[in-house]
Amino acid sequence: MDFNVRKLASDAGIFFSRAVQFTEEKLGQAEKTELDTHFENLLARADCTKNWTEKIYRQTEVLLQPNPGARIEEFLYEKLDRKIPPRATNGEILSQFMLEAAKEFGPGTPYGSTLIKVGDCQRRLGGAEREFLQASSISFLTPLRNFLEGDWRTISRERRLLENRRLDLDACKARLKKAKAAEAKAAAVPDFQETRPRNYVLSASASALWSEELDKSEQELRVAQAEFDRQAEVTRLLLEGISSTHVNHLRCLREFAEAQAMYYNQCHKYMQELQRELGRCPDSLEVNCEPSGSPSDLLNSPSPLDSDTLQIEEVQPPASGTRKARVLYDYTAADSSELSLRADELITVYTMPGMDSDWLIGERGNQKGKVPVTYLELLS
């Protein structure tokens, strides 16, 4: 117990000394040991890295999981070191609702069959989203979090220790300066004509005491300087390691971009397949997606454009009603009756009697075929 009390008193003394030194520096009443320019640049670079890494990490979390409640739940599971339970994506939930609705309305009805197709697409989109979230968390979020919670905490701890060593060093310098001034004053030549020789004795004694205090201050300064230099070197090595952190984060950023590109490519592919499937199905709720054999119903009768691919070549553009259109996305023809498209190209489009409103006839030079309206921007 006695040892603990002494240690507590010693620590309190050191803390008080550092507080006094820090206050005097702020008030301009004490000298401060300045770090070299290179070291200051390393400190500024490290602070900049920490600040932007933290902002990028937080915003990436919001991008991958917009629901703040779900983010809090995942944070608590991580802190409790428990496995995060699987959570269905929004696309998978929507797919489940659509498939259940299709059962209620009847999978053989136009609405029910379309719900099944769209629901299956949403399920695949949800699965692609799940894979993207997992890949992004492993390849991008985890390295950023490891830096903030690991490397940066180590750097911050060593920087605080370096600041304490600097305060101790400056305090030793101040004590040494005072000891030198006092010794010089005490060592002044006494007046031998003094009628009271006791003053001479006291002056000599004070000079000896201050000389001893000076030696002690110099020894403390040497120790403080050595500790400061050693801690500065440790901190410098850690700060120079920020360059390696940038290289690692660059690799992780590229992996994140690749995962995101793969995810959007998959989504685009799934949506193209869905549009082709829906483009072959009429919109009327009174007909089935399967072609009907009733010749009396024009809606059910197969269009000449769909039944015979040769008739596409025989279709002639109307005298009026043709328009120019800009292609928004690449499109691959599903069969010979359709026309493949390239993004940003200009084509001539027009419609024919009996055509589905989701399709137009497109012409590009000598090529002709059906094109989906959703892939076009009609120009006036």
Query: For residues 204 and 201, what is the distance between their CA atoms, to the nearest angstrom?
Result: 5
In DSSP terms, 338 is beta-bridged to 370
Say what the pTM is: 0.61
How high is the pLDDT of residue 304? Answer: 42
Secondary element (H or E) of residue 17? helix 2-26
Mean of per-residue pLDDT scores for the chain: 80
> Could you tell me if 50 and 148 are in contact, meaning their C-beta atoms sit under 8 angstroms apart?
yes
Average pLDDT rounded to a whole number, residues 356-372 = 89
Determine the pLDDT at residue 214: 79
Instruction: Return d(Cα 277, Cα 286) in angstroms, integer.
Output: 18
pLDDT tens across 245-264, in order? 999 999 999 999 999 999 99
For residue range 185-194, list pLDDT tens digits in order.
766 655 444 4
Q: Tens digits of per-residue pLDDT, 9-61? A: 556 666 666 676 667 666 665 677 888 899 999 999 999 999 999 999 999 99
Looking at residue 151, its pLDDT comes to: 93
Residue range 109-163, pLDDT digits in tens: 889 999 999 999 999 999 999 999 989 999 999 999 999 999 999 999 999 999 8
Question: 313, 368 in Cβ contact below 8 A?
Answer: yes
Q: Give residue 26's pLDDT.
A: 66
* pLDDT in the model for residue 225: 92
- For residue range 61-120, list pLDDT tens digits in order: 999 888 777 777 776 777 677 777 778 888 999 999 999 999 999 988 889 999 999 999
In this predicted structure, the answer to whether residue 282 has a pLDDT above a threshold of 80 is no
Most confident of 76-85, 154-163, 302-311, 350-359: 154-163
What are 274-279's contacts with CB under 8 Å, separation 24+?
274/117, 274/118, 274/121, 275/372, 275/374, 276/334, 277/117, 278/114, 278/117, 278/118, 278/358, 279/356, 279/358, 279/359, 279/372
What pLDDT was estimated at residue 13? Answer: 61
Q: In whole angstroms, how far apart are CA 134 and each of 71, 141, 145, 256, 302?
A: 14, 10, 15, 11, 46
Q: How confident is the model at residue 305 (pLDDT cuts 50, 70, 90)?
A: very low
